[in-house]
Amino acid sequence: MMTIYKKECKVYMVAQSRLDAKDYDNLMPQLKDHIQAHNKVYWYIEMENFEGWTSSAYWKGIELKLPHEERLKRVALVGNMKWQEQFTELLIPFTRAHIKFFGQDEKKSAKEWIEKNAKSIM
């Protein structure tokens, strides 16, 4: 399951349990539209009780194609090390964004990192 909300140039996503193709199909249009609407986008991804993704969601992720991907500037990953590596491997081929990992107890710092950088462009 995935929850997404957007505020100005920021996208906040909380991934819970196991993600499936439906979650991916929900995320991608929202993320693509947001990247097209803003010159710089900052993405916060929180993995809460995360168990990974189904094989169909994983393969869709491998096909990730973002328009104007250069507009995606920073990605904050919040979760445990196990998922950090897999999310990073999934994102790196498709973006030049600065990806930074934060532990579960660093949610506030991750949001501050995203918001601080987003404020500098507003």
pTM above 0.85, yes or no: no
The structure tokens listed for 96 are 């030049």
pLDDT tens by residue, 45-89? 998 888 877 777 665 555 566 667 788 899 899 988 777 776 766
Q: Could you read off the pLDDT of 2-55 as tens digits, one per residue?
A: 899 999 999 999 989 888 888 888 888 888 899 899 999 999 999 888 887 777
Query: Going from the N-terminus, what domains does the chain have, and what CATH number goes with each?
Result: 2-119 (3.40.50.10600)
- In three-state form (DSSP H/G/I as H, E/B as E, the rest C), the secondary structure along 39-95 is CCEEEEEEEEEEEEECHHHHHHHHCCCCCCHHHEEEEEEECCHHHHHHHHHHHHHHC
- Nearest 5°: CA angle at 16, between 4 and 20? 85
